[in-house]
Structure 1
Amino acid sequence: MWQGLNLFFWFLAIVAFGFELWALFDAVRAPAGAYTAADKQTKNLWLILLVVAVVVGLGGAVGFLHLLSFLPIAAFLVAAIYLADVRPAVAQYRGKGKGDSSNMGPYGPW
């Protein structure tokens, strides 16, 4: 029974690590000015937080950190806050490609 439970928590740690990687790659792609324009913390602060989250998440995924310790949970929460709060606010300031502007009206998308 304990082996199955450990396998389940290991699977959750792998999923959380992927989630943290997604948040980091998204933060790298966003322009630095978008963070201040969206009234969020600076890009450098979010990159530092998310790099630490990825390192901690990797430690949890490969078993260096105990899966139920608070560090992998805190790392997941940092990525979740970024993806739920910062990413949508910054997304409106990302540059759009020429293909994206075909449905733009004089006051925005239609």
Structure 2
Amino acid sequence: MALLFNLDGYIMLACWVLGMPVGLWAFVHAVRSRPDAFTAADKLTKPAWLAITGVGLVVLVLCEAGPMTLFWVAGLIAELVYLIDVRPSLIEVQGGRR
């Protein structure tokens, strides 16, 4: 029964741990994408997305699960917005998968 009371904590810990490689993937993809693809896809500029994904990754790494949860969840959301919204548009503009 005690495990059920801590289940939410384990889920949050798993999201935090799995969020770091996701954030790294988003940042690396932003680094490798062409700067003109961002404007062609009608998204923010490359430096803006580098800042968003970079800060999101740093926040994920520095803020552990617990009292800093709000900050790392915001960082994870920023990374996921890039991967779900921006990345597919960039792939389409750049001519498919690389």
TM-score normalised to structure 1 length: 0.73
Percentage of pairs with the same residue: 29
* Structure 1: gaps spanning 5 or more residues: 101-110
Q: Find the counterpart in structure 2 of residue 30 from structure 1.
A: 33
Q: CA RMSD in A?
A: 2.4
User: Which structure features the higher share of helix residues?
Assistant: 2
Q: 1:22 to 1:14 in 2, by over 3 A?
A: same
- 1:77/1:42 CA distance change after superposition, 3 Å: same
Residues 19-98 of structure 1 aligned to structure 2 (within 5 Å): 19-60=22-63, 63=64, 66=66, 69-94=69-94
Count of matched residue positions in the alignment of Structure 1 and Structure 2: 95
Q: What is the TM-score of this pair, normalised by structure 2?
A: 0.81
Distance in 1 of aligned mates of 2:24 and 2:82? 12
| Paired letter, 1:89 | S
The alignment partner of 1:70 has SS state of helix
- 1:107 maps to what in 2? none
Q: Report how far residue 17 of structure 1 moved.
A: 1.2
Q: Which runs of 4+ in 1 moved over 4 A?
A: 2-5
5+ residue gaps, structure 2: none
Larger Rg: 1
Q: Give the deviation of 1:11 after TM superposition.
A: 2.0
